[in-house]
Amino acid sequence: MLKKNIKIRKVQIFDLGEIYEIEKENFKVCWTKEFIQFNIQLFDHIRKFYVATDAETNKIVGYIICWLSDKTAHIYNLAVKKEYQNCGIGSRLLEYLLEDLKKEGIKTVVLEVRKSNQKAIYLYKKFNFVEIDVLVKFYPDGEDALYMIKDL
């Protein structure tokens, strides 16, 4: 697929439905609408939540969310609509978030990723995340996770 004209902005409450659809499309065990709504409504000093939109259609094509604690950010989800994958949108979202976290004085970013999710692992390594542990049976279906970290 050709690269699209993508805009990144802060999440809004009216984004809930589109985010939920992307969540269901991408994750075996997905967040509920209520949990996504809770995360949208949190204050910026507690979390960062951005969406990528297709500039032509204004539709949400991806999102990234992390929670903040002191000088550490924990990325919980990064997802891109299937039809928009492999267009660099995940990289754009991650880069945007990391730049924002650096400006905020965050020193460390951590995340977990399914051991089987090679595309995501490749993306995180491209941004200099390092594997530091394997979390055995981390996910509800019993799959292991890689615990990754990046210093900003």
> pLDDT digit string (tens) for 24-45?
888 877 777 888 787 777 766 7
- The confidence band for 1, taking pLDDT boundaries of 50, 70 and 90, is very low
Q: Express as a percent the part of the chain with pLDDT over 90.
A: 70
Full-model pTM: 0.88
Tell me: the pLDDT tens digits for 66-111?
999 989 999 999 999 999 999 999 999 999 999 999 999 999 999 9
Q: Which domains does the chain have, with CATH numbers?
A: 6-151 (3.40.630.30)
φ/ψ of 85, rounded to 5, equals: -70, 155
